[in-house]
Amino acid sequence: MSILSGKNILLGVTAGIAAYKTAHLVRLFIKAGAHVKVVMTPASKDFVTPLTLSTLSQNPVYSTFFDKDEENEEWNSHVDLGLWADYMVVAPATANTLSKMANGVCDNLLLATYLSAKCKVYFAPAMDLDMYKHPSTKKSIESLQSFGNVFIPPSTGFLASGLEGEGRMEEPENIVSFIEKDIVKGLPLFNKKVLITAGPTYEAIDPVRFIGNHSSGKMGFELAKEAANLGAEVFLISGPSNEIVSNSLIQRIDVVSAEEMYNEVHKIYNTVNIAILSAAVADYKPKSIANQKIKKASDSMSIELVKTHDILASLGKIKKQQFLVGFALETNDEIKNAKKKLISKNLDLIVLNSLQDKGAGFKKTTNKVTIIDKFEKISEFGLKSKAKVAQDIFNEILNSIYA
């Protein structure tokens, strides 16, 4: 999943031959999971048709202030378009449009929308070699950057004039990659590494049977998604789970047993900034595992159990710069038991679940948590989707780290 997934992207298309590339650019934004609307200058329609971009974007294309038919005129609000967008991308940006953007000229819908936009604006110039090198073009680019707009430099290659040089609009794949990387750089967990454990562990009795629990892994997976949304490189170590995650910033590592999870966590722990252990790890495992399926030979069967490694406690003992977060699932004396775990395991934060709360617990899409920090400050939250709970947890983490 791309960082652009779910975002609203407003693409501004101007009258350059590179406008033919915008069809592919729209497709790439859609493939990344973004919602796309297109605003064209009137002259750009000589290079690529509104029908093409409308079909690909799955939205109407705008080029005039009014849409006219036989009986009605409908106003295309540049203000609404500007407010709708999470990001605006002007590509190709001709020398003419760059100059108008830099000087506040407002003689078409695209320019009016640009001047109304409250979001970050990217612009990708496209023009002939000498036009790009001209001092007025350079001045326009510098002015736009001084406004906070983001410059996507053109590449060098064959130009429509037959010349070869700088001024060719960057390829659509590179534009999308440039924007993704720029967005990530501005996120609070950029250049940070986050370790998250999720799901249950299965402790084998024989080749067929195991001791496990009802954890689905939903909470841990939502935490991994939120960490990636905040720009972190994420290591998601998961026990058996049907949950799916797809994000280039998330590396999923599948394990089965508590022993496997312990080993994988310790391989990574010293390299991370934040560790959140949300997995429901078995406290005990069979002392010995049968090589063959145990046959039903009597009315009862005894299995000797031994303790598994306490992964959370082991990390608390070797903690250096890491911010360590644990989970506590309790059925009685919830706050008291959570505080005890917070202190005994050297945590920075503990997230308390109670099975007494309706809508919380295993396999639910919702959760209700109480978060306690190392100063024993208690923050209680209502019943929410696990995605919203993940946001609350990371808000508490960021507030603690950057307080």
Write down the residue that tokens 């652009």 correspond to.
4
**Cα–Cα distance, 289 to 245 (Å, whole number):** 32
- Beta strands of 14-75 (E only): which ranges? 35-40, 61-62, 66-68, 73-75
CA distance 268 to 276: 13
- From the candidates 59, 213, 337, 346, give the one annotated as an active-site residue: 213
Task: Give the Cα separation of 315 and 269 in Å (integer).
Answer: 8
Q: Phi then psi for 322, rounded to 5 degrees?
A: -70, 145
223, containing H or E segment: helix 218-229
Whole-number Cα distances in Å, 129 to 99, 140, 174: 17, 16, 20
Q: Give the amino acid at 290.
A: A
293 is in an annotated binding site: yes
Q: Who contacts 24 (Cβ-Cβ below 8 Å, separation ≥6)?
A: 172
End-to-end CA distance of the chain: 31
E-only strand ranges, 255-300? 274-277, 284-286
The answer to whether the annotation marks 336 as part of a ligand binding site is: no
Helix (H, G, I), strand (E, B) or coil at 184: helix
Is 327 labeled as ligand-binding? yes
Under a CB-based contact definition with an 8 Å cutoff, are residues 202 and 256 in contact? yes
Under DSSP, the state recorded for 4 is T
Residue 341 annotated as lining a ligand binding site: yes
Q: Is 283 labeled as ligand-binding? A: yes
Region class of 108: left (phi > 0), else alpha (psi between -120 and 50), else beta: beta
Active site residue 213: yes
Query: Under a CB-based contact definition with an 8 Å cutoff, are residues 211 and 254 in contact?
Result: no
- Which residues have a catalytic role annotated? 213
Binding residues: 283, 293, 327, 341, 345
Binding residues for CTP: 283, 293, 327, 341, 345
